[in-house]
Structure 1
Amino acid sequence: MDERDWMVLQTLYQEKNITNTAKILHISQPALTNRLKTMENYFGVKIVNRNWRGVEFTPQGEYLAKNAHELLLRIQKMKETVLNMEKKISGTLRLGVSTFFTDYKLPGLLKLFKDQYPDVEFKVTTGSSNDIAHLMYNHDVHVGFLKGEYGWKDQKKFLFEESICIASKEEIDMNRLPSLPRIDYETDPLLKAVIDNWWAENYSQPPLVSINVDKADTCKKMVGYGLGYAIMPSMNIDDLVHINKIEIKNKEGEKIIRKTWMFYHEESLEFNVVKAFVEFVEGIDLQSIT
């Protein structure tokens, strides 16, 4: 059993599908199947059964798959510790990044860091802020960039904030908002709760949602074409021209804002590459990166 075998088990357990697992790991399906057979021979047990739904793990296979995550983390930490002994800034930095930060800030940030530390590589996992919070709690990434208020007890750095806006191609009449077509998109639960609470405080009838999309970028484009209004963080729509924007406010008349944070573990600063990255981010103006 080597590291690649444990990676196969972990990924297959998450996907429950041979085809998807092979694509994620960039190996052929026959090669993946052969690895499974080799593992089954090694342990002398059946690990998975294949059926029309995909694969189903046996009790023995499920036990091995659940241990794969911990073993891979231990292997990764050993690699990082060995590299750290050389006192040079190198190795792989594992980042968890919310979708917005990935699209608007991450490429410029990594370019600046890479210019200064050319021996550093990156493994980036993207998702909603809620997804990134889970990655941080599970120690799957060194550093997380996410929006919103989470009960994070370890180290964090406030990066910037933005207001929540109603955006529309046409002039916005707040009194008529419940009767106007709204475009919604899939977002993390915290932002959805903020918007829903604001709506409940201001209107007695539900919004007229005419379009639902999966991505904020798609929603923004539809607003630009005049298909309806959307309620979004201001930085998502800063590049839209000729768009009417109104910042929403709470009952006290204060703007409703959303903060972006950098999360990290105190213990991760023991690794030179993580310490260098955290200090680098703390020393630059992220607002200026486009």
Structure 2
Amino acid sequence: MDYRDWEILKVLYNQKNLTKAARILFITQPGLTNRLKHMQEELGVKIITRESRGVHFTPQGEYLVHCAEEALAHYQKIKENVRNMSKNVSNEVAGTLKLGVSNFFANYELPYILKLFKMQYPHVEFKVITGWSRDVTQLIHNKDVHISFVRGDYGWRGLLKHLLFEETICIASKEEIDITDLPHLPRIDYRGDYLLKSLIDNWWAENYAQAPFISIEVDQVDTCKEMVINGLGYGILSSRILTGIEDIRLIDLTDQKGNPLLRRTWMYYHQESLEWNVVKAFVHFIENFDWKDN
């Protein structure tokens, strides 16, 4: 068993399909099948069975997949440590930086940040995984990424964090509206992460006895924003997504004491990750980044 074998097992387990796995691994399906046959002969066990719905792993195969994840993670750590040793000698910032990023941050903030960082450190490459904030938090907790950018006050013990910025949650409408009429007005709702949805739902329950009138439901916050801009209803959105948009009326949500409801965006990372020059440089870059001008 070598590195490639472990990689094959991990990809095939995730895909449960030989054709898809072969495409991801950039090998032919017969080549993949032949390699699996050699693995089974070498170990003397059956790793997979082929069924009409795809590939099924035997108990021995499940165990080997677990070993594959550990072996690949260990190999990656060895590569990073060796590279970091040589970088410490030359004081060069280079290598691959693994980032876990919330969907909003990936769309609105990250490209410009990576552009500026790349200009300063041209030998750095990036591996970026995007998703909902709760999933991105899990990535950094599991050490699948070096740094994560998370919207909302998720948190794990043992992680270092840095507050990037705060934004208000607001009612956005093309036309001026009376907040007391909100339950009777058409609302454009969208799929947000759990903490944001809870924040909005709790605010609504504190202020209204009847449920909102949801006229349109969409999957993405950007779609909701465009519908609001075109006067199809109001939306409850984070203020940062509305920056620079004219002719939109905004009303900040407040708690019972009149304080604005805030949504925070954080950078999370592990202390030991700062041993790597590329992580240390990026953390320092973010900590000194001027978010007001971005």
Q: Which residue of 1 aligns with 2:121?
A: 117
Q: Is contact 1:105-1:286 (8 Å) kept?
A: no
Q: How many residues align?
A: 289
CA separation of 1:178 and 1:80: change in aligned 2, threshold 3 A: same
* 3-state SS of paired residue (1:261): strand
Q: Which residue of 1 aligns with 2:266?
A: 261
Q: Which residue of 2 aligns with 1:62?
A: 62
Is 1:166 the equivalent of 2:154?
no
Distance 2:136 2:285 in 1: 21
Distance 2:220 2:36 in 1: 36
**CA apart distance, 1:13:** 2.6
Runs ≥4 residues deviating over 6 A = none
Question: What is the TM-score with the length of structure 1 in the denominator?
Answer: 0.92
Distance 2:118 2:196 in 1: 32
Distance 2:230 2:52 in 1: 43
1:88-110 alpha-carbon deviations (Å, 9 max, x no partner): 21111000011111111111111
**CA apart distance, 1:266:** 0.2
Q: Which residue of 1 aligns with 2:110?
A: 106
1:137-190 alpha-carbon deviations (Å, 9 max, x no partner): 110000000111123222111110100111122222211211222222222111
The 5-angstrom pairing of residues 199-278 of structure 1 reads 199-278=204-283
The 5-angstrom pairing of residues 127-138 of structure 1 reads 127-138=131-142
Q: Is contact 2:137-2:155 (8 Å) kept?
A: no
Q: Is contact 1:97-1:132 (8 Å) kept?
A: yes
The 5-angstrom pairing of residues 140-151 of structure 1 reads 140-151=144-155
Q: Which has more radius of gyration?
A: 2
- Give the CA RMSD over aligned residues: 1.9
1:215-261 alpha-carbon deviations (Å, 9 max, x no partner): 11122112122222111111112233211111101111100001110
CA separation of 1:247 and 1:116: change in aligned 2, threshold 3 A: same
CA separation of 1:83 and 1:46: change in aligned 2, threshold 3 A: same
Q: 5+ unaligned residues in a row in structure 1: which ranges?
A: none
Letter in 2 for 1:49: T
Distance 2:125 2:249 in 1: 41
Question: What is the TM-score with the length of structure 2 in the denominator?
Answer: 0.91
